[in-house]
Structure 1
Amino acid sequence: MHQGFQPARRAALVTLAGVLAACGGGGSSDSDAPPAEPVGQVINSSIKSASTGSTYAIQVYLPPGYAGGTAQLPVIYATEGDAPYGAATPGTGGSSRSRFDTFKESMQRRGTAAILVGIGGTAWRNTDFLQPGASKYLDFIVKELAPAVESQYRADPKRRALSGLSHGGYFVIAALVLEAQAGRSPSFSHYLSTEVSVGEHSGPAGLLAFEKTIDGKPLPTTLFIAGAQNGNHPLLGIPLYNQMAAQTLPGLVLIKAEYSTSHVGADVPAFEEALRRFYS
Protein backbone atom coordinates (compact mmCIF):
# COMPACT_ATOMS: atom_id res chain seq x y z
CA MET A 1 0.00 0.00 0.00
CA HIS A 2 1.33 3.41 -0.87
CA GLN A 3 1.11 6.17 1.66
CA GLY A 4 -0.58 9.31 0.44
CA PHE A 5 1.03 12.66 -0.07
CA GLN A 6 1.65 14.85 2.93
CA PRO A 7 0.67 18.29 1.65
CA ALA A 8 3.19 21.00 2.43
CA ARG A 9 1.87 24.07 0.67
CA ARG A 10 0.08 25.12 -2.49
CA ALA A 11 1.49 27.91 -4.63
CA ALA A 12 -0.07 29.44 -7.70
CA LEU A 13 2.50 30.77 -10.13
CA VAL A 14 1.92 33.83 -12.28
CA THR A 15 4.04 35.62 -14.81
CA LEU A 16 5.09 39.17 -14.20
CA ALA A 17 2.77 41.67 -15.82
CA GLY A 18 3.74 45.25 -16.48
CA VAL A 19 1.67 47.79 -14.60
CA LEU A 20 1.53 51.37 -15.86
CA ALA A 21 1.31 53.85 -13.01
CA ALA A 22 -0.93 56.87 -13.40
CA CYS A 23 1.06 59.81 -14.77
CA GLY A 24 -0.73 63.17 -14.75
CA GLY A 25 -4.26 63.49 -15.99
CA GLY A 26 -3.78 61.40 -19.13
CA GLY A 27 -1.98 58.39 -17.63
CA SER A 28 -3.41 54.89 -17.25
CA SER A 29 -4.47 53.69 -13.84
CA ASP A 30 -3.59 50.31 -12.30
CA SER A 31 -7.08 49.11 -13.13
CA ASP A 32 -6.28 49.47 -16.84
CA ALA A 33 -3.36 47.03 -16.68
CA PRO A 34 -3.91 43.57 -18.15
CA PRO A 35 -4.34 40.78 -15.59
CA ALA A 36 -1.41 38.53 -14.84
CA GLU A 37 -1.29 35.52 -17.12
CA PRO A 38 -1.52 32.22 -15.23
CA VAL A 39 1.25 29.75 -15.98
CA GLY A 40 0.22 26.83 -13.84
CA GLN A 41 0.42 25.64 -10.28
CA VAL A 42 3.04 23.83 -8.19
CA ILE A 43 2.06 21.62 -5.28
CA ASN A 44 4.74 20.52 -2.79
CA SER A 45 4.34 17.36 -0.74
CA SER A 46 6.21 14.26 0.42
CA ILE A 47 5.69 10.53 0.38
CA LYS A 48 7.17 7.79 2.55
CA SER A 49 8.09 4.75 0.48
CA ALA A 50 7.39 1.29 1.80
CA SER A 51 9.70 -0.11 -0.91
CA THR A 52 12.87 1.89 -0.15
CA GLY A 53 12.17 3.12 3.37
CA SER A 54 12.98 6.71 2.36
CA THR A 55 10.80 9.80 2.38
CA TYR A 56 10.84 11.72 -0.91
CA ALA A 57 9.97 15.35 -1.49
CA ILE A 58 7.52 15.54 -4.39
CA GLN A 59 6.68 18.55 -6.55
CA VAL A 60 3.74 18.43 -8.94
CA TYR A 61 3.33 21.02 -11.68
CA LEU A 62 -0.18 21.39 -13.10
CA PRO A 63 -0.39 23.32 -16.39
CA PRO A 64 -2.58 26.39 -16.99
CA GLY A 65 -6.25 25.57 -17.31
CA TYR A 66 -5.96 22.34 -15.34
CA ALA A 67 -8.52 23.39 -12.72
CA GLY A 68 -11.16 24.13 -15.36
CA GLY A 69 -10.47 21.07 -17.52
CA THR A 70 -11.74 17.51 -17.56
CA ALA A 71 -9.29 15.62 -19.78
CA GLN A 72 -6.68 13.25 -18.41
CA LEU A 73 -3.14 14.52 -19.01
CA PRO A 74 0.16 12.76 -19.64
CA VAL A 75 2.60 12.75 -16.72
CA ILE A 76 6.39 13.16 -16.80
CA TYR A 77 8.21 11.70 -13.78
CA ALA A 78 11.56 13.49 -13.41
CA THR A 79 14.13 11.85 -11.15
CA GLU A 80 16.44 14.15 -9.17
CA GLY A 81 13.83 16.87 -9.17
CA ASP A 82 15.64 18.56 -6.28
CA ALA A 83 19.08 18.61 -7.89
CA PRO A 84 20.64 22.12 -8.12
CA TYR A 85 20.51 22.89 -11.78
CA GLY A 86 21.25 25.83 -14.02
CA ALA A 87 21.88 29.47 -13.21
CA ALA A 88 19.91 31.56 -10.76
CA THR A 89 17.34 33.95 -12.15
CA PRO A 90 19.28 37.15 -13.04
CA GLY A 91 19.00 39.90 -10.45
CA THR A 92 17.44 37.76 -7.73
CA GLY A 93 20.61 36.76 -5.90
CA GLY A 94 18.99 33.38 -5.42
CA SER A 95 20.49 29.93 -5.65
CA SER A 96 20.47 27.72 -8.72
CA ARG A 97 17.15 26.42 -9.92
CA SER A 98 16.40 22.74 -9.51
CA ARG A 99 15.97 20.19 -12.28
CA PHE A 100 12.22 20.33 -11.61
CA ASP A 101 12.19 24.14 -11.88
CA THR A 102 14.14 24.06 -15.14
CA PHE A 103 11.87 21.44 -16.72
CA LYS A 104 8.77 23.27 -15.48
CA GLU A 105 9.97 26.48 -17.15
CA SER A 106 10.51 24.63 -20.43
CA MET A 107 6.96 23.32 -20.27
CA GLN A 108 5.60 26.78 -19.45
CA ARG A 109 7.39 28.35 -22.42
CA ARG A 110 5.96 25.75 -24.77
CA GLY A 111 2.51 25.62 -23.19
CA THR A 112 2.84 21.86 -22.73
CA ALA A 113 -0.42 20.30 -21.57
CA ALA A 114 1.12 17.73 -19.25
CA ILE A 115 1.76 17.17 -15.56
CA LEU A 116 5.35 17.22 -14.30
CA VAL A 117 6.27 15.29 -11.15
CA GLY A 118 9.66 16.11 -9.65
CA ILE A 119 10.99 13.35 -7.40
CA GLY A 120 13.41 14.47 -4.69
CA GLY A 121 16.09 12.29 -3.17
CA THR A 122 19.19 13.22 -5.16
CA ALA A 123 21.24 12.35 -2.07
CA TRP A 124 20.33 8.68 -2.59
CA ARG A 125 21.07 8.52 -6.32
CA ASN A 126 23.93 6.03 -5.89
CA THR A 127 21.55 3.69 -4.06
CA ASP A 128 18.23 4.22 -5.81
CA PHE A 129 19.47 4.34 -9.40
CA LEU A 130 21.83 1.34 -9.28
CA GLN A 131 21.24 -2.30 -8.50
CA PRO A 132 20.21 -3.73 -6.14
CA GLY A 133 18.45 -0.53 -5.07
CA ALA A 134 17.02 0.23 -8.51
CA SER A 135 14.45 -2.57 -8.23
CA LYS A 136 13.09 -1.12 -5.00
CA TYR A 137 13.14 2.42 -6.39
CA LEU A 138 11.25 1.28 -9.49
CA ASP A 139 8.64 -0.34 -7.25
CA PHE A 140 8.33 2.94 -5.36
CA ILE A 141 7.63 4.94 -8.52
CA VAL A 142 5.35 2.39 -10.20
CA LYS A 143 3.49 0.93 -7.22
CA GLU A 144 3.41 3.87 -4.80
CA LEU A 145 4.08 7.26 -6.41
CA ALA A 146 2.24 6.83 -9.72
CA PRO A 147 -0.94 5.45 -8.08
CA ALA A 148 -0.88 8.36 -5.60
CA VAL A 149 -0.54 10.88 -8.43
CA GLU A 150 -3.23 9.19 -10.49
CA SER A 151 -5.64 9.11 -7.54
CA GLN A 152 -5.26 12.84 -6.84
CA TYR A 153 -4.89 14.36 -10.31
CA ARG A 154 -6.28 13.81 -13.80
CA ALA A 155 -3.23 11.80 -14.77
CA ASP A 156 -3.44 9.35 -17.65
CA PRO A 157 -1.92 5.99 -16.55
CA LYS A 158 -1.38 5.08 -20.20
CA ARG A 159 0.78 8.16 -20.88
CA ARG A 160 3.58 8.14 -18.33
CA ALA A 161 7.15 9.22 -19.06
CA LEU A 162 10.25 8.56 -16.95
CA SER A 163 13.20 10.97 -17.24
CA GLY A 164 16.74 10.69 -15.88
CA LEU A 165 20.23 12.12 -16.42
CA SER A 166 23.55 10.25 -16.04
CA HIS A 167 22.97 7.65 -13.28
CA GLY A 168 19.34 8.71 -13.61
CA GLY A 169 19.60 7.98 -17.34
CA TYR A 170 20.96 4.55 -16.44
CA PHE A 171 18.01 4.02 -14.08
CA VAL A 172 15.61 4.77 -16.96
CA ILE A 173 17.28 1.98 -18.99
CA ALA A 174 17.36 -0.31 -15.95
CA ALA A 175 13.63 0.24 -15.35
CA LEU A 176 12.88 -0.87 -18.91
CA VAL A 177 15.20 -3.89 -18.68
CA LEU A 178 14.05 -5.02 -15.23
CA GLU A 179 10.41 -5.07 -16.22
CA ALA A 180 11.15 -6.89 -19.47
CA GLN A 181 13.24 -9.46 -17.59
CA ALA A 182 10.29 -10.04 -15.27
CA GLY A 183 7.91 -10.46 -18.19
CA ARG A 184 5.93 -7.35 -17.28
CA SER A 185 4.65 -4.80 -19.76
CA PRO A 186 6.44 -1.43 -19.61
CA SER A 187 5.02 0.84 -16.92
CA PHE A 188 5.81 3.95 -18.97
CA SER A 189 4.80 4.95 -22.47
CA HIS A 190 8.07 6.93 -22.83
CA TYR A 191 11.52 6.32 -21.35
CA LEU A 192 13.73 9.42 -21.60
CA SER A 193 17.38 8.51 -20.93
CA THR A 194 19.93 11.32 -21.17
CA GLU A 195 23.70 10.76 -20.94
CA VAL A 196 23.30 7.20 -19.67
CA SER A 197 26.08 6.09 -17.30
CA VAL A 198 27.51 2.58 -16.89
CA GLY A 199 25.51 2.23 -13.70
CA GLU A 200 26.84 -0.44 -11.38
CA HIS A 201 28.62 -2.18 -14.26
CA SER A 202 32.38 -1.97 -14.67
CA GLY A 203 32.28 -0.49 -18.16
CA PRO A 204 30.39 -0.22 -21.47
CA ALA A 205 30.51 -3.98 -22.06
CA GLY A 206 28.67 -4.58 -18.79
CA LEU A 207 25.93 -2.11 -19.71
CA LEU A 208 25.46 -3.74 -23.12
CA ALA A 209 25.41 -7.25 -21.60
CA PHE A 210 22.74 -6.11 -19.13
CA GLU A 211 20.52 -4.81 -21.92
CA LYS A 212 21.18 -7.84 -24.13
CA THR A 213 19.29 -10.06 -21.67
CA ILE A 214 15.99 -8.73 -23.04
CA ASP A 215 16.64 -9.40 -26.74
CA GLY A 216 13.51 -10.95 -28.21
CA LYS A 217 11.12 -9.67 -25.55
CA PRO A 218 8.15 -7.47 -26.48
CA LEU A 219 8.61 -3.80 -25.58
CA PRO A 220 5.52 -1.79 -26.55
CA THR A 221 6.95 1.60 -25.58
CA THR A 222 9.19 4.46 -26.75
CA LEU A 223 12.82 4.82 -25.67
CA PHE A 224 14.54 8.14 -26.32
CA ILE A 225 18.33 7.93 -25.85
CA ALA A 226 19.95 11.37 -25.89
CA GLY A 227 23.36 12.72 -25.00
CA ALA A 228 26.28 15.04 -25.58
CA GLN A 229 29.02 14.83 -28.18
CA ASN A 230 31.46 15.61 -25.37
CA GLY A 231 29.85 13.33 -22.80
CA ASN A 232 28.81 9.71 -22.33
CA HIS A 233 26.79 9.47 -25.52
CA PRO A 234 29.52 8.34 -27.97
CA LEU A 235 30.82 5.68 -25.55
CA LEU A 236 27.53 4.46 -24.08
CA GLY A 237 24.40 5.96 -25.60
CA ILE A 238 25.18 5.29 -29.27
CA PRO A 239 26.44 1.71 -28.74
CA LEU A 240 23.36 1.00 -26.64
CA TYR A 241 21.10 2.44 -29.33
CA ASN A 242 22.87 0.46 -32.07
CA GLN A 243 22.62 -2.81 -30.13
CA MET A 244 18.92 -2.34 -29.42
CA ALA A 245 18.21 -1.30 -33.02
CA ALA A 246 19.73 -4.60 -34.19
CA GLN A 247 17.67 -6.70 -31.78
CA THR A 248 14.18 -8.12 -32.01
CA LEU A 249 12.17 -6.03 -29.55
CA PRO A 250 8.55 -6.07 -30.80
CA GLY A 251 6.70 -2.79 -30.29
CA LEU A 252 9.73 -0.68 -29.37
CA VAL A 253 10.05 2.79 -30.89
CA LEU A 254 13.72 3.70 -30.56
CA ILE A 255 14.97 7.27 -31.01
CA LYS A 256 18.38 8.88 -30.48
CA ALA A 257 19.61 12.46 -30.39
CA GLU A 258 22.99 14.10 -29.86
CA TYR A 259 23.87 17.68 -28.89
CA SER A 260 27.05 19.73 -29.11
CA THR A 261 27.28 20.36 -25.38
CA SER A 262 28.52 18.88 -22.11
CA HIS A 263 27.35 15.96 -19.98
CA VAL A 264 24.88 17.95 -17.86
CA GLY A 265 24.30 20.47 -20.65
CA ALA A 266 22.53 17.83 -22.74
CA ASP A 267 19.67 17.52 -20.28
CA VAL A 268 17.64 20.61 -21.22
CA PRO A 269 17.85 20.23 -25.04
CA ALA A 270 16.99 16.54 -24.67
CA PHE A 271 13.96 17.35 -22.51
CA GLU A 272 12.81 20.10 -24.86
CA GLU A 273 13.16 17.78 -27.84
CA ALA A 274 11.09 15.19 -25.97
CA LEU A 275 8.42 17.86 -25.43
CA ARG A 276 8.43 18.68 -29.16
CA ARG A 277 8.27 15.05 -30.22
CA PHE A 278 5.81 13.63 -27.75
CA TYR A 279 3.73 16.49 -26.31
CA SER A 280 3.07 18.91 -29.18
Structure 2
Amino acid sequence: MGMEFQHARRSALICAASAVLTACGGGGADDGAGPAASGQVINSTIKSVANGNTYAIQVFLPESYANSTTVLPVIYATEGDAPYGGANRSRFDTFKEVMQRRGTQAVLVGIGGTAWRGTDFLMPGATKYLDFLVKELAHTIESQYRIDRKRRALSGLSHGGYFVLAALILEARAGVPPSFSHYLSTECSVGEHTSPAGVLAFEKQIDGKAVPATLFLAGASGGNHPLIGIPVFNQIASQNLPGLVSLKAEYNTSHVGADVPAFEDALTRFFS
Protein backbone atom coordinates (compact mmCIF):
# COMPACT_ATOMS: atom_id res chain seq x y z
CA MET A 1 0.00 0.00 0.00
CA GLY A 2 1.07 3.61 -0.46
CA MET A 3 1.83 6.31 2.04
CA GLU A 4 -1.84 7.09 2.52
CA PHE A 5 -2.59 3.69 4.00
CA GLN A 6 0.37 3.27 6.30
CA HIS A 7 0.09 0.63 9.00
CA ALA A 8 2.73 0.96 11.69
CA ARG A 9 4.37 -2.45 12.20
CA ARG A 10 5.22 -3.26 15.78
CA SER A 11 6.05 -6.41 17.68
CA ALA A 12 4.16 -7.28 20.85
CA LEU A 13 5.61 -7.37 24.33
CA ILE A 14 2.99 -9.47 26.04
CA CYS A 15 3.01 -10.40 29.74
CA ALA A 16 2.42 -14.09 30.42
CA ALA A 17 -1.24 -15.15 30.36
CA SER A 18 -2.95 -15.25 33.74
CA ALA A 19 -6.26 -14.69 35.48
CA VAL A 20 -8.18 -11.42 35.35
CA LEU A 21 -5.91 -8.57 36.47
CA THR A 22 -3.34 -10.93 37.97
CA ALA A 23 -0.14 -9.08 38.83
CA CYS A 24 2.99 -9.60 36.74
CA GLY A 25 6.23 -7.70 36.54
CA GLY A 26 9.49 -7.25 38.37
CA GLY A 27 10.87 -5.05 41.09
CA GLY A 28 11.64 -1.37 41.15
CA ALA A 29 9.93 1.75 42.39
CA ASP A 30 7.69 1.92 39.35
CA ASP A 31 6.30 -1.63 39.25
CA GLY A 32 3.42 -1.35 41.69
CA ALA A 33 5.38 -2.02 44.88
CA GLY A 34 4.63 1.47 46.14
CA PRO A 35 4.11 5.10 45.05
CA ALA A 36 7.16 6.66 43.43
CA ALA A 37 7.88 10.38 43.41
CA SER A 38 6.45 10.63 39.91
CA GLY A 39 3.55 8.23 40.34
CA GLN A 40 2.94 4.51 40.31
CA VAL A 41 2.60 1.80 37.66
CA ILE A 42 0.67 -1.40 38.30
CA ASN A 43 1.22 -4.32 35.90
CA SER A 44 -1.38 -7.03 35.39
CA THR A 45 -3.12 -9.19 32.81
CA ILE A 46 -6.73 -9.76 31.90
CA LYS A 47 -8.21 -12.60 29.86
CA SER A 48 -11.09 -11.49 27.68
CA VAL A 49 -14.34 -13.41 27.71
CA ALA A 50 -15.34 -11.64 24.48
CA ASN A 51 -12.49 -12.90 22.30
CA GLY A 52 -10.41 -15.26 24.45
CA ASN A 53 -7.19 -13.24 24.27
CA THR A 54 -5.08 -12.39 27.31
CA TYR A 55 -3.91 -8.77 27.43
CA ALA A 56 -1.07 -7.22 29.40
CA ILE A 57 -2.42 -4.18 31.25
CA GLN A 58 -0.44 -1.29 32.75
CA VAL A 59 -2.07 1.35 34.93
CA PHE A 60 -0.31 4.63 35.70
CA LEU A 61 -1.51 6.59 38.72
CA PRO A 62 -0.16 10.13 39.10
CA GLU A 63 1.70 11.07 42.27
CA SER A 64 -1.33 12.87 43.73
CA TYR A 65 -3.50 9.76 43.59
CA ALA A 66 -2.05 8.18 46.76
CA ASN A 67 -2.81 11.19 48.96
CA SER A 68 -6.17 12.25 47.60
CA THR A 69 -9.78 11.13 47.34
CA THR A 70 -10.34 12.92 44.03
CA VAL A 71 -11.78 10.92 41.14
CA LEU A 72 -9.68 11.27 37.99
CA PRO A 73 -10.32 11.04 34.24
CA VAL A 74 -8.96 7.92 32.56
CA ILE A 75 -7.24 7.43 29.21
CA TYR A 76 -7.29 3.97 27.62
CA ALA A 77 -4.35 3.64 25.21
CA THR A 78 -4.43 0.78 22.72
CA GLU A 79 -1.12 -0.89 21.77
CA GLY A 80 0.38 0.00 25.12
CA ASP A 81 3.02 -2.68 24.56
CA ALA A 82 4.13 -1.44 21.12
CA PRO A 83 7.90 -0.69 20.95
CA TYR A 84 8.34 3.06 20.92
CA GLY A 85 11.38 5.31 20.65
CA GLY A 86 14.12 2.91 21.72
CA ALA A 87 14.93 -0.37 23.41
CA ASN A 88 12.63 -1.48 26.21
CA ARG A 89 10.28 1.46 25.64
CA SER A 90 6.63 1.24 24.75
CA ARG A 91 3.72 3.46 23.75
CA PHE A 92 2.55 3.27 27.36
CA ASP A 93 5.98 4.35 28.65
CA THR A 94 6.05 7.30 26.27
CA PHE A 95 2.55 8.48 27.13
CA LYS A 96 3.24 8.04 30.85
CA GLU A 97 6.35 10.21 30.60
CA VAL A 98 4.40 12.91 28.76
CA MET A 99 1.81 12.93 31.54
CA GLN A 100 4.50 13.01 34.25
CA ARG A 101 6.27 15.92 32.57
CA ARG A 102 3.04 17.86 32.22
CA GLY A 103 1.68 16.95 35.64
CA THR A 104 -1.52 15.64 34.06
CA GLN A 105 -4.00 14.54 36.71
CA ALA A 106 -5.43 11.49 35.00
CA VAL A 107 -5.09 7.70 35.05
CA LEU A 108 -3.46 6.07 32.04
CA VAL A 109 -4.32 2.48 31.11
CA GLY A 110 -1.99 0.85 28.58
CA ILE A 111 -3.60 -2.11 26.81
CA GLY A 112 -1.25 -4.74 25.39
CA GLY A 113 -2.10 -6.96 22.46
CA THR A 114 -0.28 -5.32 19.55
CA ALA A 115 0.09 -8.82 18.09
CA TRP A 116 -3.68 -8.89 17.47
CA ARG A 117 -4.02 -5.40 15.99
CA GLY A 118 -4.98 -6.82 12.59
CA THR A 119 -7.93 -8.61 14.17
CA ASP A 120 -8.92 -6.51 17.17
CA PHE A 121 -8.96 -3.13 15.43
CA LEU A 122 -10.74 -4.13 12.21
CA MET A 123 -14.21 -5.47 11.55
CA PRO A 124 -15.56 -7.94 12.45
CA GLY A 125 -13.12 -8.46 15.33
CA ALA A 126 -13.49 -4.83 16.45
CA THR A 127 -16.97 -5.59 17.78
CA LYS A 128 -15.65 -8.19 20.22
CA TYR A 129 -12.66 -6.01 21.12
CA LEU A 130 -14.98 -3.10 21.92
CA ASP A 131 -17.04 -5.41 24.13
CA PHE A 132 -13.83 -6.40 25.91
CA LEU A 133 -12.81 -2.78 26.49
CA VAL A 134 -16.17 -1.55 27.70
CA LYS A 135 -17.73 -4.53 29.47
CA GLU A 136 -14.61 -6.19 30.84
CA LEU A 137 -11.54 -3.96 31.06
CA ALA A 138 -13.17 -0.63 31.90
CA HIS A 139 -15.56 -2.30 34.33
CA THR A 140 -12.64 -3.95 36.15
CA ILE A 141 -10.33 -0.92 36.14
CA GLU A 142 -13.02 1.47 37.27
CA SER A 143 -14.12 -0.77 40.10
CA GLN A 144 -10.55 -0.78 41.48
CA TYR A 145 -9.49 2.85 41.04
CA ARG A 146 -11.07 6.27 41.63
CA ILE A 147 -12.19 6.98 38.07
CA ASP A 148 -14.54 9.65 36.74
CA ARG A 149 -16.53 7.51 34.33
CA LYS A 150 -17.89 10.64 32.63
CA ARG A 151 -14.33 11.55 31.54
CA ARG A 152 -13.12 8.43 29.78
CA ALA A 153 -10.90 8.68 26.69
CA LEU A 154 -9.82 6.13 24.07
CA SER A 155 -6.57 6.60 22.09
CA GLY A 156 -5.26 4.75 19.04
CA LEU A 157 -2.76 5.18 16.20
CA SER A 158 -3.11 4.01 12.56
CA HIS A 159 -5.24 0.81 12.71
CA GLY A 160 -5.75 1.79 16.35
CA GLY A 161 -6.92 5.22 15.18
CA TYR A 162 -9.36 3.50 12.86
CA PHE A 163 -10.61 1.40 15.77
CA VAL A 164 -11.22 4.54 17.84
CA LEU A 165 -13.43 5.88 15.05
CA ALA A 166 -15.09 2.48 14.60
CA ALA A 167 -15.86 2.28 18.33
CA LEU A 168 -17.78 5.54 18.12
CA ILE A 169 -19.58 4.47 14.93
CA LEU A 170 -20.54 0.99 16.18
CA GLU A 171 -22.25 2.28 19.29
CA ALA A 172 -23.90 5.24 17.56
CA ARG A 173 -25.19 2.97 14.80
CA ALA A 174 -26.72 0.69 17.44
CA GLY A 175 -28.31 3.65 19.24
CA VAL A 176 -26.13 3.02 22.30
CA PRO A 177 -24.74 6.03 24.22
CA PRO A 178 -21.00 6.43 23.64
CA SER A 179 -18.89 4.51 26.14
CA PHE A 180 -16.15 7.18 26.01
CA SER A 181 -16.37 10.93 26.42
CA HIS A 182 -13.32 11.53 24.20
CA TYR A 183 -12.20 9.59 21.12
CA LEU A 184 -8.57 10.34 20.18
CA SER A 185 -7.95 9.01 16.67
CA THR A 186 -4.44 9.59 15.31
CA GLU A 187 -3.44 8.84 11.71
CA CYS A 188 -6.60 6.79 11.10
CA SER A 189 -6.00 3.99 8.58
CA VAL A 190 -8.51 2.67 6.05
CA GLY A 191 -9.11 -0.28 8.38
CA GLU A 192 -10.65 -3.24 6.60
CA HIS A 193 -11.80 -1.03 3.73
CA THR A 194 -9.89 -0.71 0.47
CA SER A 195 -9.98 3.08 0.26
CA PRO A 196 -10.88 6.23 2.22
CA ALA A 197 -14.26 6.10 0.48
CA GLY A 198 -15.01 2.93 2.43
CA VAL A 199 -14.28 4.69 5.73
CA LEU A 200 -16.56 7.55 4.71
CA ALA A 201 -19.38 5.15 3.81
CA PHE A 202 -18.93 3.40 7.18
CA GLU A 203 -19.11 6.71 9.05
CA LYS A 204 -22.07 7.93 7.02
CA GLN A 205 -24.24 5.21 8.58
CA ILE A 206 -24.54 7.25 11.79
CA ASP A 207 -25.93 10.43 10.19
CA GLY A 208 -28.83 11.64 12.32
CA LYS A 209 -27.72 9.74 15.45
CA ALA A 210 -27.15 11.44 18.79
CA VAL A 211 -23.46 11.16 19.71
CA PRO A 212 -22.76 13.09 22.95
CA ALA A 213 -18.96 12.86 22.81
CA THR A 214 -15.82 14.55 21.49
CA LEU A 215 -13.96 13.13 18.48
CA PHE A 216 -10.40 14.38 17.97
CA LEU A 217 -9.00 13.47 14.54
CA ALA A 218 -5.26 14.15 14.38
CA GLY A 219 -2.43 13.18 12.07
CA ALA A 220 0.59 13.98 9.94
CA SER A 221 0.51 16.35 6.98
CA GLY A 222 2.36 13.77 4.89
CA GLY A 223 0.56 10.75 6.29
CA ASN A 224 -2.99 9.43 6.45
CA HIS A 225 -4.59 12.58 7.83
CA PRO A 226 -5.17 14.57 4.61
CA LEU A 227 -6.52 11.45 2.85
CA ILE A 228 -8.65 9.96 5.64
CA GLY A 229 -8.85 12.11 8.78
CA ILE A 230 -9.74 15.40 7.11
CA PRO A 231 -12.35 13.92 4.73
CA VAL A 232 -13.97 12.16 7.70
CA PHE A 233 -13.93 15.42 9.65
CA ASN A 234 -15.48 17.33 6.74
CA GLN A 235 -18.20 14.72 6.26
CA ILE A 236 -19.03 14.78 9.97
CA ALA A 237 -19.27 18.59 9.83
CA SER A 238 -21.95 18.25 7.13
CA GLN A 239 -24.04 15.76 9.08
CA ASN A 240 -26.71 15.94 11.77
CA LEU A 241 -25.00 14.36 14.80
CA PRO A 242 -26.51 15.93 17.93
CA GLY A 243 -24.02 16.25 20.77
CA LEU A 244 -20.88 15.40 18.79
CA VAL A 245 -17.96 17.80 19.03
CA SER A 246 -15.53 17.09 16.20
CA LEU A 247 -12.02 18.58 16.20
CA LYS A 248 -8.99 18.12 13.96
CA ALA A 249 -5.26 18.81 14.16
CA GLU A 250 -2.36 18.26 11.78
CA TYR A 251 1.36 18.06 12.51
CA ASN A 252 4.39 18.35 10.23
CA THR A 253 5.83 14.96 11.12
CA SER A 254 5.72 11.29 10.15
CA HIS A 255 2.90 8.74 10.41
CA VAL A 256 4.05 7.36 13.78
CA GLY A 257 5.65 10.69 14.70
CA ALA A 258 2.22 12.32 14.91
CA ASP A 259 1.23 10.17 17.88
CA VAL A 260 2.99 12.05 20.69
CA PRO A 261 2.12 15.58 19.47
CA ALA A 262 -1.50 14.47 19.12
CA PHE A 263 -1.49 13.00 22.63
CA GLU A 264 0.03 16.16 24.11
CA ASP A 265 -2.50 18.26 22.19
CA ALA A 266 -5.34 16.12 23.56
CA LEU A 267 -4.04 16.50 27.12
CA THR A 268 -3.96 20.29 26.66
CA ARG A 269 -7.43 20.44 25.19
CA PHE A 270 -9.24 17.96 27.41
CA PHE A 271 -7.28 17.12 30.57
CA SER A 272 -5.53 20.32 31.69
Higher relative contact order (CA closer than 8 Å, sequence separation 6+): 2
- Structure 2 counterparts to residues 133-144 of structure 1, below 5 A: 133-144=125-136
SS in 1 for 2:217: strand
Partner of 1:49: 48
- Structure 2 counterparts to residues 125-164 of structure 1, below 5 A: 125-164=117-156
Partner of 2:78: 79
Partner of 1:232: 224
Q: Is the 8 A contact 1:11 1:41 kept in 2?
A: no
Structure 1 Cα separation of the partners of residues 258 and 208 of structure 2: 31
1:167 and 2:159 correspond: yes
SS in 1 for 2:153: strand
SS in 2 for 1:266: helix
Partner of 1:18: none
Q: Which moved more, 1:153-162 or 1:128-137?
A: 153-162
Partner of 1:8: 24
- 1:128-175 deviation line (CA, Å, top 9, x unaligned): 000000000000000000010011110111111000000000000000
Partner of 1:257: 249
Q: Which runs of 5+ in 2 are unaligned?
A: 1-18
Deviation at 1:65, TM superposition (A): 1.6
Letter in 2 for 1:245: A
TM-score of the pair, normalised by structure 2: 0.89
1:197 and 2:189 correspond: yes
- 1:172-201 deviation line (CA, Å, top 9, x unaligned): 000000001111000000000000000001
Structure 1 Cα separation of the partners of residues 140 and 28 of structure 2: 20
User: How many residue pairs align between the two structures?
Assistant: 250
Deviation at 1:13, TM superposition (A): 3.5
Letter in 2 for 1:208: L
Partner of 2:60: 61
SS in 1 for 2:63: coil
SS in 2 for 1:46: strand
SS in 2 for 1:67: helix
Identical positions, percent: 72
- Runs of 4+ in structure 1 over 2 Å off: 9-14
Q: Is the 8 A contact 1:11 1:42 kept in 2?
A: no
Deviation at 1:202, TM superposition (A): 1.0
SS in 1 for 2:136: helix
Alignment partner for residue 104 of structure 1, among 96, 106, 114? 96
Structure 1 Cα separation of the partners of residues 115 and 30 of structure 2: 27
- 1:202-230 deviation line (CA, Å, top 9, x unaligned): 10110000000000100100000000001
Partner of 1:116: 108
Partner of 1:90: none
Partner of 2:9: none
C-alpha RMSD of the superposition: 1.5
TM-score of the pair, normalised by structure 1: 0.87
Partner of 2:11: none
- 1:37-72 deviation line (CA, Å, top 9, x unaligned): 810000000000000100000000000121111011
Q: Is the 8 A contact 1:40 1:65 kept in 2?
A: yes
Structure 2 Cα separation of the partners of residues 13 and 119 of structure 1: 17
1:187 and 2:198 correspond: no
Structure 1 Cα separation of the partners of residues 206 and 177 of structure 2: 12
Q: Which moved more, 1:3-12 or 1:47-56?
A: 3-12
Deviation at 1:96, TM superposition (A): 4.5
Partner of 1:21: none
Q: Which runs of 5+ in 1 are unaligned?
A: 15-36, 88-94
Larger Rg: 1
SS in 2 for 1:39: coil
Structure 2 Cα separation of the partners of residues 222 and 240 of structure 1: 14
